[in-house]
Amino acid sequence: MGLQRLDKVLADLGIGSRKELKELIRAGRVRIDGMVCLKPEQKLDPERQTLTLDGKELGYKGLRYFMMDKPAGVVTATEDRSQKTVLDLLPEELRRLGLFPVGRLDKDTSGLLLLTNDGDFAHRVISPKSCVEKRYYADIDGDVTEEDAAAFAAGLTLRDGTQCLPAGLERLGAGKCLVTVTEGKYHQVKRMLASRGKPVLALRRLSIGTLVLDEGLGPGGLRELDEMDLCKLFSGEIGEN
């Protein structure tokens, strides 16, 4: 990686905007190898030198992980010619991190979406071999029955012949249910419920593994994940990946 400007290293870490970083540095809050550095243009090797902000070490984390409460109406993509994407919702300082969405939620689906720049991690979350459970809340036209739940548990065959892995279906009340799947086929939950004659009216992802969407984030809200959160993603994992 070699030598880089201090303000660029801090910006890459998503600490703040260039202007905010200049102020932090000029206020003497940043140290390189224990020495206060007042120059934003100072060069350092972030992989070899120790960087602190207010005495707290900033590990040079190239790999970053976030949860977003994806609002309905934006597409799960890194770019799109005409439609707003989930990346358009990121604050300026996080746009340079090379984040991409882990898996896909439909444009009209809301809820828990992971964003990262770690391709191996994304693959592990998405792969059905990892058996990571994704749980959705659905409003449906109709009401689920015990027969529907049994069909989900046995592994549904969709209308086009696609075979699904066994999945969970729980009735919450009239026209409301929870669906738990370990794979992510195209429009999977909608197609599963449609195959039982219960079209989805609204869909929201609530959790992945035992990592639950922070409902306090609000539509488009974002929170960085820590190690505990990452462990929760794979805590129910069984088998090899």
Which spans of this chain sit near ligand URA (rule: CB under 6 A)?
105-106, 109, 187-190, 203
Contacts of 205 (CB under 8 A, 6+ apart): 70, 105, 109, 110, 111, 112, 113, 134, 135, 136, 213
For residue 170, report the phi and psi dihedrals to the nearest 5 degrees: -130, 130
Minimal distance, residue 104 CB to ligand URA, in Å: 7
Nearest C-alpha neighbor of 53 from the set 36, 75, 77: 36
Our CB check for ligand URA shows the closer of 109 and 195 to be 109
Give CA separation, 183 vs 4, 124, 131, 213, 219, in Å: 41, 11, 8, 19, 25
Minimal distance, residue 80 CB to ligand URA, in Å: 16
Our CB check for ligand URA shows the closer of 25 and 140 to be 140
215/111 Cα distance (integer angstroms): 9
Q: Which of 106, 120, 139, 214 is catalytic?
A: 106
Minimal distance, residue 203 CB to ligand URA, in Å: 6
Our CB check for ligand URA shows the closer of 43 and 187 to be 187
Q: Would you call 226 a catalytic residue per the annotation?
A: no
Catalytically active residues, by annotation:
106
